Amino acid sequence: LRCSTRPVAALEPCRYFSSQEGDEKDKTEEKEESGNGEEEAETEEAEPSREEQLEKEAKDLKDQLLRSLAEQENIRAIAKRDVASAKAFAVTSFAKSLLDTSDNLSRAMESVPEEYRADTEDHPVLATLYEGIKMTDENLLKAFEKNGLIRFGEPGDLFDPNLHDALFEYPDPEQEEGTIGQVMKAGFKLNNRVIRPAEVGIIKKA
C-alpha cells in the first residue's frame, strides 16, 4: 500500500457580516443625503428672486424720494415763514424810534387846557396851535396804520397784563374795578405783536 504525502491545503478563515450593520449604514447615508437636500431647499427658499429684489429696491427708492420731498417742502415752508416774518417786522426799530414823537404830540395836546382848545375868539393862538398839533398826530397815526403799527390803550378798557403795564391802582366808585382809569403812555402793536405795552393806572375796589 502506498500512502499519499500531498499536503492538505489549510482552510482560510471566513469573515461573516451582519445584515443589521449594513442596514444602519444605509440609513445613515440616507439621512445625510436627506439633510443636504433640505438645506439646499431652505437656501433656495431664503434667496429672493430677482423680481422681488427689484420690487424691494423700487420701494426703498420711493420711500427715500417721498422723505426727500417732504423735507424740501418743510424747508420751503420755514423759509417762506422766515421771509414773511422778516418783512413784517423789518420796520420795528424804525417804528420804535417814532413812538417818542407820537408821545410828544400827545403831551403837547394835553398841555392845552380844554376850555381854550376851541376858543378861537379869546385864545385863537392856543386854539390854532392845538388844532395843528392834533392834525399832525392824526396824520402820523394814519402813517403808522398803513405800516401795521396800531396805537392802543384807552380809559375804560379792561386791563390785560399782556397789553398793559400797571403803574398804580386807585379807587374810583364811578368806574368798574379792573378797568383802565388813566393812560400814562399809549401802547403800540406792530402787525398784532406788542412792541410797547401801555403804561396805565387801573381801578381797584374802593
- DSSP assignments along 104-162, one per residue: HHHHHHHHS-HHHHS-TTT-HHHHHHHHHHHHHHHHHHHHHHHTTEEEE--TTPBP-TT
pLDDT reported for residue 68: 86
pLDDT reported for residue 25: 54
Chain segment 34-55, per-residue pLDDT in tens: 555 555 545 555 677 888 888 8
Helix axes 92-111, 124-146, angle to 10 degrees: 160
pLDDT reported for residue 189: 93
pLDDT band at 74; cut points 50, 70, 90 = confident
pLDDT reported for residue 54: 84
pLDDT at 10 over 50: no
How far apart are the C-alpha atoms of 30 and 19, rounded to whole Å? 17
pLDDT reported for residue 55: 85
Sheet harboring 198-204: ordered strands across? Answer: 164-171, 198-204, 180-185
pLDDT reported for residue 2: 47
Cell 424810534 sits on residue: 97
Which residue has better confidence, 9 or 26? 26
pLDDT reported for residue 32: 56
pLDDT at 57 over 50: yes
Which residue has better confidence, 29 or 179? 179
pLDDT at 151 over 50: yes
C-alpha cell at 110: 394835553
Average pLDDT of the chain to the nearest whole number:
80
pLDDT reported for residue 184: 92
pLDDT reported for residue 141: 92
